[in-house]
């Protein structure tokens, strides 16, 4: 079964073709970072218009790379939510129209399910069941996964997600957009012994997250440093290091708590923040010490991409699920509302 996947939920246009026999045949990605950088964040209307411009050229590119045409497809998958409504509509309308034209079924895919299943594209995919740490954009969730569609949300962010906190802290430090990767890079030269930032909600039971207080602590620390004079390059690096350490420590503590609670030893980490090298190293160390394993997608599949949508769509189309002819997107879509595969 060959499935075309379209991702257009936010500021990256992704297209890929997944083949159940040969794996990923081709993929292409266009990032809108340059478009939004002057505004310091994503402008929804500009994002939607850019998806319109880039989507079909990327579709043609992946067909050429894969050496096939639309007539060879068995289905089309597109991101149906969550995300920016206008951006989602671009992929949904294009995907539904192409599927109708080629006479194949179409399926709207949950963006976070795509991230969750992205490690399945690797040579050694995780076996079910496992705990998933999803850290993507506005989402930070811990999920017990017993199969495709069999999800139990164990904990999630009550306010700012980890990715949002990274971006907001970076903005406070006057780092360029996108801030998260810039902050992580700056933290490499920071002194961890200078500041001690709080680890929010780790001293209370449960698996929920809250990073708004950490953001406020960062703002106050910057103000204190400025009170002593101009914020120096050393100040910025030390604050970035302390901030990153607090987030990584918090995520690691909650992951270990979730694994212990559910009696599991396999952890999957996915989403943009999962590309953070310090977080990967910390979780690998912790899981190894307890005899467990941690899985994550390669860096290019941590951020939004078409490959994860093509694979998630394949899983559901293969099980006989498909959408009706109407076009609908869900900017807000709880993942535990997804149907399990038969």
Residue 195 and residue 239 in contact, taking contact as beta carbons nearer than 8 Å: yes
Positions at the binding site for substrate:
134-138, 167, 180, 276
* Residue 196, SS3 per DSSP: coil
Compute the distance between CA of residue 258 and CA of residue 254 in angstroms, rounded to an integer: 6
Q: From the CB of residue 331, how many other CB atoms can be counted at a distance below 10 Å?
A: 15
Compute the distance between CA of residue 56 and CA of residue 176 in angstroms, rounded to an integer: 30
Concatenate the DSSP letters of all residues of 213-224 into one string.
HHHHHHHHHHHH
Positions at the binding site for Fe cation:
111, 115, 304
Sheet strand arrangement including 150-156? 150-156, 139-147, 130-136, 266-270, 293-295
Positions at the binding site:
111, 115, 134-138, 167, 180, 276, 304
Q: Indicate left, alpha or beta for 108 from its phi (over 0: left) and psi (-120 to 50: alpha).
A: beta
Compute the distance between CA of residue 172 and CA of residue 191 in angstroms, rounded to an integer: 19
Q: Which residues contact 196 (CB under 8 A, 6 or more apart)?
A: 242
- Please report, for the chain, how many H helices and E strands are present, in that order: 10, 10
Concatenate the DSSP letters of all residues of 251-269 into one string.
HHHHHHHHHHHHT--EEEE
Residue 82: cis peptide before it, omega within 30 degrees of 0: yes
Concatenate the DSSP letters of all residues of 32-66 into one string.
-HHHHGGGTS--HHHHHHHHHHHHHHHHHHHHHHH
């Amino acid at each position: 079964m060959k499935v075309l996947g379209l991702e257009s939920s936010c500021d990256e246009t992704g297209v890929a073709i997944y083949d159940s026999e040969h794996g990923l045949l081709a993929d292409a990605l266009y990032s809108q970072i340059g478009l939004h950088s002057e505004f310091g964040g994503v402008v929804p209307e500009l994002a939607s218009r850019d998806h319109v411009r880039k989507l079909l050229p990327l579709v043609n590119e992946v067909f050429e790379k894969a050496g096939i045409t639309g007539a060879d497809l068995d289905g089309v998958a597109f991101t149906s939510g969550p995300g920016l409504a206008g951006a989602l509509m671009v992929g949904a309308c294009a995907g539904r129209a192409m599927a109708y034209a080629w006479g194949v079924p179409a399926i709207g895919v949950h963006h976070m399910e795509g991230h969750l299943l992205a490690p399945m594209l690797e040579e050694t995919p995780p076996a079910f069941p496992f705990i998933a740490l999803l850290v993507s954009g506005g989402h930070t969730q811990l999920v017990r996964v017993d199969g495709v569609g069999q999800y139990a949300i164990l904990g999630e962010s009550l306010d700012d997600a980890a990715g949002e906190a990274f971006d907001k802290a970076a903005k406070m430090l006057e780092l360029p957009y996108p801030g998260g990767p810039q902050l992580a890079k700056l933290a490499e030269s920071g002194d961890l012994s200078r500041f001690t930032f709080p680890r929010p909600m780790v001293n209370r039971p449960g698996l929920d997250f809250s990073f708004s207080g950490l953001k406020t602590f960062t703002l106050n620390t910057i103000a204190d440093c400025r009170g002593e004079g101009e914020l120096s390059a050393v100040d910025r690096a030390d604050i970035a290091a302390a901030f990153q350490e607090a987030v990584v420590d918090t995520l690691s503590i909650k992951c270990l708590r979730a694994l212990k609670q559910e009696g599991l030893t396999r952890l999957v980490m996915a989403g943009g923040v999962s590309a953070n090298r310090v977080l990967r190293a910390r979780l690998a160390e912790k899981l190894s010490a307890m005899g467990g394993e941690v899985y994550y997608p390669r860096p290019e599949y941590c951020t939004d991409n078409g490959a994860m949508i093509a694979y998630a769509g394949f899983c559901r189309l293969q099980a006989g699920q498909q959408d009706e002819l109407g076009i609908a997107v869900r900017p807000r879509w709880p993942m535990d509302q997804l149907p399990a595969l038969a």
